[in-house]
Amino acid sequence: MESVISVANMRESDEHTIACLTGSLELMERAARGIRSSHDFNGRTLIVTGSGNNGGDGFALAEILLEEGKETEVVTVTDHYSADSEYYMKRAVSKGLKVIPFTAGSGMLKGYDTIVDCLLGTGFSGEVRGRYRDAILEINEVFGDCFVLSADINSGMNGDTGKADIAVRSHLTVTIGALKTGLLLARGGSHIRRITCAHIGITPLREENFLLEPGEWELRGIDPGLFVYEDSSGALLFKNDESVNIINV
């Protein structure tokens, strides 16, 4: 049985872990290693980053891939980064990483074997605009020609509802820390072929919903109560195929 939590719960749990247990840079490296272990990254890899910590996961991943001798580049839609993201960006650049500014309509996302979506994280909500929107559209244009991996969440998607004006389509989404509700709902799932959760040492502060494995579907004997109604007692999400996998870092 796997915990499925809200964006707010994930944020608070992350903050608690950083304050009491593990530093943010260490967690970012663990996230990158979780992403690395989920895919072989053979051939040419392009990581597309934004300004936040989701982009930092991408720079930390780039450093790991470069150390392994894998052909890796970063395209970025911004020229400013969070402190942790900038830390890993500078480390990766010192090891030979090329960071290329994104230019819409240039075709610069073509010709890669793997594209890693590190544009927007679970903190995003609303409508995607500007270069972020252009980059998402161009990633989706090459979806049929390469393997697309989204880090933590598909950029543009609401982590609680799965709703999106536009969102990256992925062959694999590696969500970090815990499964997010929006990834498993119909709206979110329509953008995702397979989900992996990389556990990096963050324990949710609150239990909310659960993903049940086959064999955990025994629900007999539950008394719903006289005044229980839909959504008043949580939710059960059933895993019935191999589209969701769990890994530990």
Strand 72-76 to 45-49 pairing: parallel
Instruction: Give residue 87's pLDDT.
Output: 98
Number of H helices, E strands in the chain: 7, 12
User: What local confidence, expressed as pLDDT, does residue 248 receive?
Assistant: 53
Query: pLDDT digit of tens for each residue in the chain (249 aa)?
Result: 788 999 999 999 999 999 999 999 999 999 999 999 999 999 999 999 999 999 999 999 999 999 999 999 999 999 999 999 999 999 999 999 999 999 999 999 999 999 999 999 999 989 999 999 999 999 999 999 999 999 999 999 999 999 999 999 999 999 999 999 999 988 888 899 999 999 999 999 998 888 876 665 555 555 555 444 445 555 555 555 555 554 455
pLDDT of residue 47: 99
Report yes or no: 61 and 36 within 8 Å, Cβ to Cβ: yes
Q: What is the pLDDT of residue 229?
A: 46
Q: Does residue 230 belong to any structural domain of this protein?
A: no
Beta strands in 141-219 (DSSP E): 147-151, 172-176, 179-180, 195-199, 209-212
Number of domains the chain contains? 1
- Per-residue tokens: 173: 């989404």
Asked whether residue 26 is domain-assigned, the answer is yes
Phi, psi of 90 (to 5 degrees): -65, -40
Residue 210 forms part of a structural domain: no
CATH number at residue 160: 3.40.50.10260
- Residue 222 counted as domain residue: no
User: Which pLDDT does position 237 carry in this prediction?
Assistant: 54
